[in-house]
Amino acid sequence: MEVADMAKWTTGEIPDLAGKRAVVTGANSGLGLCTALELARHGATVVLACRSAERGRAALDRIRAAAPGCDVALGSLDLADLASVGAFAAEHGTTGLDLLVNNAGVMALPRRTTADGFELQFGTNHLGHFALTGLLLPALLDRPGARVVTVTSMMHWLGSLDFDNLDGESRYGKWAAYCQSKLANLVFAKELDRRAQGRLTSVAAHPGYAATNLQQAGPRMSGSRIGEVLNGLANTVVAQSDAAGAQPILYAATAPEVRGGQCYGPRGPGQSRGAPRRVPTRRKADDPELGRRLWEVSEQRTGVIYDTLRQER
């Protein structure tokens, strides 16, 4: 498919995924739920990696109702707790894995820390997924053509990796922390693809401005009823649906013409909405030195070492 034809791409063009096994983080709602549903609908065996067992079971029921006969299962995963990440990988990483969608995330929250003491947004959005990917790496390398899709945001354009203040201890801004975590997602996706050297494909994707529960979670945690209402209104009036926002993720996960190290997002104005396409990203995200530094810091913090890829370099 030529780039110009991406404007016509729909989920109906997802190939038959029978025999493929996928893990989708944050699959209980929004982008993750839409992504998991379409993968299951097209024949993949899908593990819904969810923090909340109650919401995960509800998502499982919704997918089974929408795609009767599909092969889906529920897994317990809290990306803000490395012990939970390790337990999930131990349970679900023993057989081959064709696709990992690093989707779960938090956005613009008051400063909190993870179970391991990391700033919550950087710890959940980046470090949790870094650890999960590394622990699932043997299962991914077991399947030729495996892919890792890491969900970033158009807000990465405003991000900066402050290695002297990754946890926001000396200064903290909720949006600055979010943008930093989303830039980290993009840098990680590109660096993973460099290190994999063709043994798997790592790409990034973002949904544009899509209506999910993320926009209202931050104001709710801050006790801002006005902010919660205004963000809900913006979701209704301005944002595209979560199903539309999931299209670039699904394209990145399944389209045969996808190339490693790229980012896929909406083709519309400001990458905010529209059919999927390969989209430009900040030049600094391609900097191998920045990728190397983030990688080393992430290994040190999580204790997860990508030994197999290290041996190949």
Task: Kindly list the catalytic residues.
Answer: 178
Nearest to 114 by CA among 296, 247, 135, 105: 105
- To the nearest 10 degrees (0 to 180), the angle between helices 174-196 and 288-302 is 100
CB neighbourhood size of 73 (10 A): 12
The residue whose two tokens read 């600094």 is: 284
Spatial contact of 248 and 267, defined as CB atoms under 8 Å apart: no
Phi, psi of 118 (to 5 degrees): -85, 150
Residue 11, Cα to own-chain centre: how many angstroms?
A: 18
Can you tell me the distance from the alpha carbon of 36 to that of 19, in angstroms, rounded to the nearest whole number?
15
> Quick one: how many helices (H) and strands (E) in the chain?
12, 8
Q: How far apart are CA 52 and CA 239, in angstroms?
A: 26
C-alpha dihedral, 178 to 183 to 184 to 189, nearest 10°: 130
DSSP structure class, residue 199: S
- CB-based burial label for 179 (10 Å; 0-12, 13-18, 19+): buried
Cα four-point dihedral sign 160, 164, 166, 172: negative
Q: In the block, which residue shows the tokens 């943008």?
A: 179
